[in-house]
Structure 1
Amino acid sequence: MGMDYYNILKVDKNATEDDLKKSYRKLAMKWHPDKNRDNKKEAEAKFKQISEAYEGLSDPQRRVIYDQYGEEGLKDMPPSGTGGFPFRNGSGGGSKGFNPRNAEDIFAEFFGSSPFEFGAAGAGKSTGFQSDGRGMFGGFSSKENMFRSYSEGAAPRKPPPVESKLPCTLAELYSGSTRKMKISRTVVDANGRQTQESEILTIDVKPGWKKGTKITFPDKGNEQPGQLPADLVFVIDEKPHDLYKRDGNDLIVNQKVTLAEALGGTSVSLTTLDGRNLSIDVTDIISPGYELVVPKEGMPIAKERGKWGDLRIIFEVKFPTRLTPEQRAGLKRALGG
């Protein structure tokens, strides 16, 4: 199967683009050969692996292929100049499409030139790390702009990401779903003219994703002349459900019962978000506001596979507005008061 990119970057399969960047930054700093002069050989090997794993997962198209076919699948991919950055040295490699760039080049994208030349990794003070809005570090040398070398002249600016909401039903967030979004965007052709192109993007909504989860498609936004294309970001939004309300990983249901049911016992029948029938017997005496917790019938927990939140049923007791004298007498006898 080759290398496990997720394992190397210490992230799980649902890692966002941001998670990948954070992890790459941390590990690349830790294993940069300049920082590990005593165990340079081991550090070099690790550093290369980290860079290859980041390169393989940071491009959405490559990541889909990797998830399906592993590292071998990437090698059969045609050289790509489309998603993410064009390959520096991949296009001449015969049929081997995925030819990861030089590890130092990827590092330079994040940190400019090697920060270790300025006296150890902690010397961020003297080097003046700045974030350039992409969550990458810049501010060192001309090397910082090398990944933009495919455009002429001064380094083009990267506009802020374009965000749009992706409304999902609770059922989609419970079971997961595949959403296909058709996007139309402005691109600049080789002659500098703006044209429209459309594309279908696939979003795998994972079970348990919460409102506010962001999915980033690098460089899929509109492009202006002299600028890099914007990133396109979809933000998960939650459509209201007529029965269930979500509270973190829990689901809440409000249930009305009569006073007779509250005192004499009742059962609650519900259809779960994935279409199962649940029947729950309530034997406790239900006082107003009583809450019954059904373990593991809440939302799946995105980051912990096989774990669920709880279902919380909150009861409202409907008191009768009037009783006949016989009912009153009967109740007094039955309840001994």
Structure 2
Amino acid sequence: MAAKEDFYKLLELDRNASEAEIKKSYRKMAMKFHPDRNNDNPEEAEKKFKLVKEAYEILSDPKKRAAYDQFGHAGVDSSMGGGRGGFSGAENFSDIFGDVFGDIFGGGRQQRSSVQRGADLRYNLELTLEEAVGGTEATVKVPVLVACVECNGSGAKKGSSPVTCSTCHGHGQVRMQQGFFSVQQTCPTCRGTGKQIKDPCPKCYGQGRTQETKTLNVKVPAGVDTGDRIRLAGEGEAGANGGPAGDLYVQVQVKDHPIFTRDGANLYCEVPISFSMACLGGELQVPTLDGKVMLKIPPETQTGRMFRLRGKGVKPVRGGLVGDLLCKVQLETPVHLTKEQKSMIEKLGESLSGGGKHHSPQEHGWMDGVKSFFDKLTG
């Protein structure tokens, strides 16, 4: 009989390997020699797979490993349970297989819990800018699954109760033999709950939950913005088989405003300014979310100039300084002028250009600033 290969070498391990390293190496080697992955020579792969399994079974057991380290194969042969591969039947093999590969096949030894948390829900809430900045209370109606009041969520007709599943005997899983392997799967009869409803509730038809529309009051804090979420704990769908309810997330969407735009804590707006006020200065009434305020316009103000009104913006919902309102003035060109008004503007233009009616822009110096700007770009 040929000598057995050293278990450590078989699993490509150092003799001081930890338990985690042994399991990791076994996973790697078992996948490598899996018969389903070696269609060209499945019989040889199966033999190698059994050797790998045998090595793992010995080295993963502290007592067997100690005996193997001291006496080699002779120290563990009597405790192997017979057979070169160390199998004591398909059940023994599937236990090891499920322990290592349970995450791949959905098997393992854990029983699926019949109690399940309800799903989280999302509700899109549209707010005006005023509501978002100042805070508000909104009433929302949400279609949601709730625990059936007739059967208290059990799914069974009043006076009865669910019984243990006859297929899986309450485990929620059944063992399926697939060729060389035995794999656990969710029970097709009870769908993993371990229970069967022989006499279903007439209101929920055995589901334990019914569809209803909830009416909820949502307190919206001041300063929220598009993308913010408000969590209402326990207002989502009811859980299955008495499980806890999920949560409701209210997603905020702020509608466009006809005057203001928002950037973080600051607000922006544009206000028209007359030609005379731009030239001579004065006071201009501008809107804010708190009402109108007077803004002082200095003489010779150019169109596009930005004025800052401190503290007239938004107080952030998560704390911090109140933002500002930034007003951009835009020169308003007068329309529908009378002959007299046109004559006055012509006289003003002549006065500004030095008294001549037909001077070109270059002659009265209007283009000097433009030329100097382009000189900087090309210089």
**TM-score w.r.t. length of structure 2:** 0.43
Q: Which fold has the larger relative contact order, with Cα–Cα distance below 8 Å and residues 6 or more apart in sequence?
A: 2
Determine which structure has more spread, i.e. the larger CA radius of gyration: 2
